[in-house]
């Protein structure tokens, strides 16, 4: 195991200077500190313990995710994680990161410089520098929510079982007489939107239902889904639409009402996530729940097991179908033309 002496030798500086740099002393320049950290990461140096008088620290990395507001999806996840981590003796920092910050400092350097023993990351996309490169080789125990890294045992994936969720959603619709079912979901920039799209296709196949032409719409932009793909699906006479996430489902509900259609009489809608607002849409949304606090719990379970060298690769929570009023019996016959046209 490399020590600070190895860092000192490699840089031709004293052991004391390395120690100061690692411990954020004021009399070490930022440039030198950065070189020390990068060398430390390069040779595989790991801190053995936190400095005296401080607890060991874990980091929750957050991007594209609102977690401060109890009405936000991320709130329950952060809470669930902290509820297990803090009684177990960890300090937990929640840190927002941007792609620019990721570009400026490598993942392991970031972790080492802040003395984090492990991290739980939410909301990273496949375009993020840390996802594209650093996490493939990181040595820091890391749990990713809804992201998967092949072949690096230091990284776990946690999430909900998408296949199970879509299986239940399609089963529910089929029992209500629906056979023409559409899908509207996120674009291809993230692991989870791809996984949910694929899970929809498998669920339709497993229930023996045909996927109609024009009945899959995917975009990063909700407006593109509601203005372009939704009219195409209505034109194809779908009787139900499953959305890749609740915010999309809410937009589809609103747009259908604007077009003069009734939910669920003309069209059934199902969301995914059971975000806090899903019970309060008009009508309340049938959705596939991922229990947010349980996700946070699982994040800690998985991270704790990685820190203890048990290499959990995948941890999936059960999905649960929450039936509310946005789904009902399939309409008989075709939809009338919309009373209003989309703008």
Positions in the binding site for its own copies (CB under 8 A): 150-151, 153, 161, 164, 167-168, 291, 294, 297-298, 301, 305, 310-320
Cα first-last separation, the chain: 64
143 strand-pairing partners? 120, 156
Q: How far apart are CA 261 and CA 241, in angstroms?
A: 13
Choice between 122 and 319, CB closer to its own copies: 319
Choice between 150 and 336, CB closer to its own copies: 150
Minimum distance, C-beta of residue 313 to its own copies, in the bound complex (Å): 4
Choice between 161 and 194, CB closer to its own copies: 161
Minimum distance, C-beta of residue 154 to its own copies, in the bound complex (Å): 10
Minimum distance, C-beta of residue 218 to its own copies, in the bound complex (Å): 22
Choice between 129 and 141, CB closer to its own copies: 141
Rounded (5°) CA angle 93-96-98: 145
Tell which residue, 130, 275, 243, has the closest CA to residue 255.
243
Minimum distance, C-beta of residue 328 to its own copies, in the bound complex (Å): 22
Q: Are 81 and 48 in contact (CB under 8 A)?
A: no
Choice between 17 and 162, CB closer to its own copies: 162
Dihedral Cα 132, 49, 44, 24, nearest 10 deg: 80
Q: Are 57 and 93 in contact (CB under 8 A)?
A: yes
Minimum distance, C-beta of residue 310 to its own copies, in the bound complex (Å): 5
Minimum distance, C-beta of residue 146 to its own copies, in the bound complex (Å): 14
Tell which residue, 130, 238, 133, has the closest CA to residue 183.
238
Alpha-carbon separation of residue 173 from 57, 182, 220, 264 (angstroms): 46, 11, 26, 11
């Amino acid at each position: 195991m490399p020590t600070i002496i190895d860092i000192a030798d490699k840089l031709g500086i004293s052991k004391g200077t390395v120690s100061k740099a690692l411990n954020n002393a004021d009399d070490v320049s930022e440039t030198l500190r950065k070189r020390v950290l990068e060398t430390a990461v390069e040779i595989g140096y790991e801190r053995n313990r936190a400095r005296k008088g401080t607890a060991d620290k874990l980091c929750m990395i957050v991007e594209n995710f609102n977690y401060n507001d109890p009405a936000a999806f991320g709130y329950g996840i952060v809470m669930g994680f902290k509820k297990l981590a803090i009684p177990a003796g960890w300090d937990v920092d929640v840190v927002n990161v941007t792609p620019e910050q990721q570009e400026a400092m490598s993942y392991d350097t970031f972790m080492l410089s802040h003395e984090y023993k492990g991290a739980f990351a939410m909301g990273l996309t496949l375009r993020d520098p840390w996802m594209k490169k650093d996490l493939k080789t990181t040595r820091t125990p890391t749990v990713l929510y809804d992201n998967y890294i092949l072949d690096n045992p230091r990284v776990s994936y946690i999430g909900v079982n998408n296949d199970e969720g879509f299986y239940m959603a399609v089963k529910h619709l089929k029992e209500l007489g629906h056979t023409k079912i559409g899908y509207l979901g996120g674009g291809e920039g993230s692991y989870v939107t791809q996984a949910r799209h694929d899970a929809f296709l498998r669920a339709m196949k497993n229930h023996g239902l045909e996927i109609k032409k024009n009945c899959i719409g995917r975009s990063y932009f909700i407006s593109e889904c509601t203005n372009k793909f939704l009219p195409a699906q209505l034109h194809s006479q779908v009787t139900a639409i499953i959305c890749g996430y609740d915010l999309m489902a809410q937009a589809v509900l609103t747009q259908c009402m604007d077009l003069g259609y009734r939910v669920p009489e003309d069209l059934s809608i199902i969301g995914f996530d059971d975000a806090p607002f899903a019970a309060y849409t008009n009508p309340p949304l049938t959705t596939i729940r991922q229990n947010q606090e349980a996700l946070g719990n699982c994040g800690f379970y998985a991270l704790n097991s990685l820190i203890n060298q048990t290499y959990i690769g995948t941890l999936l929570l059960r999905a649960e179908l929450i039936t509310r009023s946005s789904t009902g019996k399939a309409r008989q016959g075709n939809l009338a033309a919309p009373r209003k046209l989309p703008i």
